[in-house]
Amino acid sequence: MTIRTVLAASAAVFACALSPLSASADTSDKKIALSNNYAGNSWRQAMLTSWNKVTGEAVSAGVVAAADAFTTAENQATEQAAQIQNMILQGYDAIVINAASPTALNGAVKEACDAGIVVVSFDGIVTEPCAWRIAVDFKEMGRSQVEYLSTKLPDGGNLLEIRGLAGVFVDDEISAGIHEGVQQFPQFRIAGSVNGDWAQDVAQRAVAGILPSLPEIVGVVTQGGDGYGAAQAFEAARRPMPIIVMGNREDELQWWKQQKDANGYETMSVSIAPGVSTLAFWVAQQILDGKEVTKDLTVPFLSIGQDTLEESLETTERGGVANVEYSQADAEKVIAEAE
């Protein structure tokens, strides 16, 4: 062994000892890419910010060689499939995906798996068996909204449903849960449904467009990024303000706080934490490191109640989303609990 080799080895050991992350020789030269289909709302922006923050620290610590993020220009499965195929050619060892469709990307995902690439999907998951999936119980997220409304509105009434991006797994699952909730609590009926694309401005326009044709609405069931827009539409139409389920966005929480202080307005807020992207990163890193990981992992959704509103607002960035970011240790715990 040469003196140069000894010094290099000593430096590597010293660097690992200083790092709070357990860098591994098996992943220090690995490259991970994020394939994201959409970035047009505050949740997606927070998701990308969390990814860049956590993965940047991991790259600096030598846990992985790269953790690049890519977002398609349009929310089109064909464009994202081409993006994934480019990642295969660029030699990434793992691809983390927030998918435009649960099925339309399966061909590209299978190509990646066949090339020996680890594929981890989250939020918008894929159904290709070779991929891993990280999701919350989106159906329960939808159903729980109707259950909450049943406690505040025991006599029931008409609901307005605001859906997300059409054709995306998350939208389908939350909507299915909402409809299950209405079956469970038949005092409610869905009087109308619009797509808000998980964006306040889109939701406001969609709700404003349908309101003139609707009877009195007692509650609005949502998917996130649409609650404040819905409230603005009801105010502009001078309609009685229903109970609007919020989606953890800072502008929604601020509006709720204002209404709570002014007239005791009560509601709830629920969403998946944008930082789930960081859990997907660490799961991919753990798989590359040789860990056995079950194909389907479930994480809890993040709920805010009347008694935790102020606390949640204090820790939510202006224009952002209430969030939780995951560490390597968190990922190891999630993996162990799923075994």
pLDDT in tens, the chain (339 residues): 332 332 233 333 333 333 345 444 489 999 999 999 999 889 999 999 999 999 999 999 999 999 999 999 988 999 999 999 999 999 999 999 999 999 999 999 999 999 999 999 999 999 999 999 998 899 999 999 999 999 999 999 999 999 998 888 889 999 999 999 999 999 999 999 999 999 999 999 999 999 999 999 999 999 999 999 999 999 999 999 999 999 999 999 999 999 999 999 999 999 999 999 999 999 999 999 999 999 999 998 899 999 999 999 999 999 999 999 999 999 999 999 998
CA 244 – CA 279 distance, rounded (Å): 30
Same domain, 116 and 48: yes
Same domain, 267 and 144: yes
pTM reported for the whole predicted model: 0.82
Give the domain range for residue 168. 138-271
DSSP 134: E
Check which CATH number belongs to the domain holding 86 and give it: 3.40.50.2300
In 211-306, alpha helices (H): 227-236, 250-263, 276-288
Same domain, 60 and 170: no
**Element (H or E) spanning 82, and its range?**
helix 77-89
Residue 5 lies in a domain: no
Q: Which amino acid is at 281?
A: F
- Per-residue model confidence (pLDDT) at position 86: 98
- Please choose, from the candidates 10, 43, 4, 37, the residue with its C-alpha nearest in 3D space to the C-alpha of residue 249: 43
Residue 41 lies in a domain: yes
Residue 43 lies in a domain: yes
Same domain, 169 and 284: no
Instruction: Tell me the β-bridge partners of 57.
Output: none
What domain count does the chain have?
Answer: 2
**Considering 232, 256, 271, which residue would you say is the last residue of a domain?**
271
CB neighbour list of residue 293: distance below 8 Å, 6 or more residues apart: 132, 283, 286, 287, 335, 338
CA 215 to chain centre: 33
Same domain, 172 and 104: no
CA 125 – CA 276 distance, rounded (Å): 12
CA 56 – CA 177 distance, rounded (Å): 36
CA 227 – CA 58 distance, rounded (Å): 35
- Please choose, from the candidates 3, 168, 148, the residue with its C-alpha nearest in 3D space to the C-alpha of residue 75: 168
Same domain, 111 and 176: no
Same domain, 144 and 263: yes
Same domain, 236 and 152: yes
Residue 308 lies in a domain: no
Same domain, 130 and 151: no
Residue 16 lies in a domain: no
Same domain, 193 and 166: yes
Residue 32 lies in a domain: yes
Same domain, 127 and 149: no
Q: What are the DSSP calls for 184-205, one per residue?
A: HSTTEEEEEEEE-TT-HHHHHH
Instruction: Tell me the β-bridge partners of 71.
Output: 36
Same domain, 158 and 263: yes
Residue 15 lies in a domain: no
Instruction: Tell me the β-bridge partners of 244.
Output: 220
Residue 6 lies in a domain: no
- Are the beta carbons of 325 and 255 closer than 8 angstroms? no
